[in-house]
Every structure is written in C-alpha cells, then in structure tokens.
Amino acid sequence: MRILAAAKINLHLRVGRRRSDGFHPLLSWMCTAGLFDTLTFVRRRGSAGDDVTASAAATAPNDRSWFTLSTDHPQLPTDSRNLVTKVALALADALGRDGEGPTGRRERVSAFLVKRIPSGAGLAGGSSDGAAALSALATIWKLDWSRPQLADFAAKFGSDLSFFFFGPSAVCTGRGEIVRPIAAPLASHAVLMLPAIEMPTPAVYRRFDEMNLGAGGDEAIANEPDFASWTTLRSDALLARLLNDLESPAFAIRPELGELRARLERELKKIVRMSGSGSSLFTLCDDAASAERIAARVRDEMNLANVRVMTVRLAPAGDMYGRARRKRKPWDGRVPGEPTVRAIPQSARQEPRPPEENQSRSRINVSRRDE
C-alpha cells in the first residue's frame, strides 16, 4: 500500500494567550499543499507458528515487532521519536488492550518513508506522516473506524494531525484539534520559499509568551472572520487579510528570517506570509503560470543562498487519509528505495466531503504540549 502525506500551509493563524493546560487557543485556516512525503507499507507475514507469538505481542505495550520504519533520509530517526513509528506502536498497543480487530492474526508491517517535506518549516510534515500511517494501518489491520475516530486517536500525538482527516481545507480551533472543513481558496497556487532554517515550535511559543502577544489573538479568535467569503477572493485581496501571530516571535529568534520576508515583499511587491511557526514563507497566486513567474524571479534575480523555491497547488487532488489507497497488484515483500507516486483521479477543486459530523473534537488526554 502506498499513500501520499501532504504538507499543509497555515494561510491564517491567530494565537491566544496560553491556557491553564499549557496550550494556546488557535484560530487557523489550514490548507494542504502539493508537496508530499510518500509512505509505502508492506505486510510481513510470518510462519504459522508465529501466531501464538503475535497474539502475545499484541498485549505488550509498544512492542516493536508489529511495525518497523526505514527512510531515505539518513538523519531522520525511525524509532518512537518519529511520529510514524509512535502512532503505529500506539495503535497496535491500543488494539491489543481493547480487543479490537483481528489481533491474533494481525500482520506485522514495515514502512518506507520518502521524505520531501522539510523539517522545522511549519509545514507539518511529521504530523502528516503520522496521520497517513494511522489511516494506512487502520486499513491493513481491518479496523472499521470513522474519520472522527481516527482524528480523535491522532490528536494524542499533536495538534496538527486531526486536520489531515478532514482536509484539504479547514478552519481549526481549540488547540487545533477542532476541525471544520471549508471550501479551498480561489487562489489556487502558492510559491514556497524554504530557507535552510529549522524553527523549533516550542521555542517560538515561548518567545510569543515572553512578548505578551496573546491578547490580540484572543480577540481575533472570539470574532472569527467570514472565511466563506475569503475563499472566493483572488490572491492579492486574500493576502491582504491573512495574518500569522507567530511571525513576530519567529523573527525575533531568527532575525535573518524576518529580513528575508521583508526583502521578498519589497522586490516581488506582494505580501509574503510565514506558515505555522516557520521557517517556510509563502505568497499566493491565482494560477500556475503566475506562480511559476514569481518563482522564477526569486530563483533567477534575487540570488538567495540556501533558499529552496517551489510552486505548489493548494488543496491538491486526493482524499487525504479518510481511507488509504491500495496498489492494485500485491506487494512482493520488498521495501522499495524510491516509490513511484501515481496521480489520483479526483478534481483538485472539489469541495471537501466531511463525514456525518462537521467537526471533530479530541476526547483523549494529550501527551505533547506546544511548550
């Protein structure tokens, strides 16, 4: 089984003052972008004598015999520090405890991750990978879970994961786990500028608190804008309305990032925003040709060292992770070094089709804070 894990862009992000539980309230319009990691999952069938061992392993907390991960990125951890492994082992452990699924006959799984979304860029590559793994394993292990159930389980591992079960475009509130799908923006493309800077999210939030920036976010969250009308705006009109409350603390930590944003805006004569806690910067365009022209100007005229520039489609075609996509032919048991990604035949501009519920709220105790 092969599944794409899309990047996300925070088109609009307002952040309130830190809550008593350590999290910050958020209001964010998030949209997937056409930059993908690829995960390939391979069943590892053991011999008939392995069934007893497999049954016993199902009751062992975080038993790694169920799942192994490898990757083309040599610096990327593949143990439980990686969300793919962490989510996979937690799912196997939960099913073993709760008796869900065919635990006595569940197949072991290996996965290979081709990493293309940069880390520390505010594009949620790790969260997307974790959500993709959860969806794929739920399919492989024959779990009849709805999207809200998958999103609730995923929310244990980070505030961004729930979005990926309701994308490609949604307004996220709470700490990010309350997801309300909306139409994709009319501005269909973005130019991504990816400097070789990794921004640690906890440090950005700490600086946000030190700078006492949350009051404006609290007011903005209480008075949500008309996102439905925003989806109909052309790129320049939309950019004029977008904000990111984490830009100031991120630029305070890495002033060169703020200087890069200022230079891009000055030379392109377009508004440039930051996604998430950084370091990725973006501007919006109405079509692919306009995006390519702007990207070419940045690459050819600005002579930016250590800045990767690319164009991406917003809300690209695909069903996200509500159901994993299967390869037609059976796998031969080998983990490929570079899986081939096939296009998904679905309209890129189709509005999201949520399940019966229009929003998903986590009811699971959260183990990771944004501090």
Q: Are residues 161 and 204 in the same domain?
A: no
With cut-offs at 50, 70 and 90, classify the pLDDT of residue 41. very high
Catalytic, 8? Answer yes
Residue pLDDT, tens place only, 325-369: 444 333 333 333 333 333 333 333 333 333 333 344 333 333 333
Determine which one of 8, 86, 115, 156 is catalytic: 8
With cut-offs at 50, 70 and 90, classify the pLDDT of residue 63. low
> Which among 181, 197, 225 is the end of a domain?
181
Q: Are residues 85 and 214 in the same domain?
A: no
> Which among 146, 181, 216 is the end of a domain?
181
Q: Are residues 86 and 10 in the same domain?
A: yes
CA nearest to 281, candidates 316, 314, 308, 315:
308
CA nearest to 312, candidates 285, 330, 346:
285
CATH number at residue 290: 3.30.70.890
Q: Are residues 18 and 166 in the same domain?
A: yes
Residue 354 covered by a domain: no
Determine which one of 93, 129, 152, 160 is catalytic: 160
Q: Are residues 209 and 70 in the same domain?
A: no
Structurally, the chain folds into a number of domains equal to 2
Distance in angstroms (rounded) separating the CA atoms of residues 359 and 178: 6
Q: Which range has the worst mean pLDDT, 64-68, 142-146, 229-233, 243-247?
A: 64-68
Q: Are residues 95 and 200 in the same domain?
A: no
Distance in angstroms (rounded) separating the CA atoms of residues 322 and 59: 27
Decide: residue 75, CB within 10 A, 0-12 exposed, 13-18 middle, 19+ buried: exposed
Q: Are residues 59 and 144 in the same domain?
A: yes
Q: Are residues 87 and 58 in the same domain?
A: yes
Confidence check: pLDDT of 101 > 60: no
pLDDT value of residue 366? 30
Q: Are residues 177 and 199 in the same domain?
A: no
Residue 327 vs residues 42, 306, 341: alpha-carbon distances, Å? 11, 37, 11
Residue 332 covered by a domain: no
Contact yes or no for 135/1 (Cβ under 8 A): no
Residue pLDDT, tens place only, 253-276: 999 999 999 999 999 999 999 999
Rounded percentage of the chain residues whose pLDDT exceeds 70: 78
Residue pLDDT, tens place only, 179-207: 999 999 999 999 999 999 999 999 999 99
Residue 109 covered by a domain: yes
> Which among 181, 201, 236 is the end of a domain?
181
Residue 32 covered by a domain: yes
pLDDT value of residue 65? 73
Distance in angstroms (rounded) separating the CA atoms of residues 273 and 324: 32
Domain that holds residue 304: 189-313
Average pLDDT over residues 11-24: 95
Q: Which range has the worst mean pLDDT, 15-19, 224-228, 321-325?
A: 321-325
Q: Are residues 177 and 210 in the same domain?
A: no
Residue 336 covered by a domain: no
Residue 361 covered by a domain: no
pLDDT value of residue 107? 80
Q: Are residues 52 and 128 in the same domain?
A: yes
Average pLDDT over residues 93-114: 71
pLDDT value of residue 94? 86
Confidence check: pLDDT of 56 > 90: no
DSSP notation for 100-154? -S-GGGPPEEEEEEE--SPTTSSS-HHHHHHHHHHHHHHHHTT----HHHHHHHH
Q: Which range has the worst mean pLDDT, 52-56, 118-122, 177-181?
A: 52-56
Catalytic, 160? Answer yes
Distance in angstroms (rounded) separating the CA atoms of residues 221 and 281: 23
Residue 153 covered by a domain: yes
Contact yes or no for 71/110 (Cβ under 8 A): no
Q: Are residues 209 and 151 in the same domain?
A: no
CATH number at residue 31: 3.30.230.10
Average pLDDT over residues 62-76: 83
Residue 338 covered by a domain: no
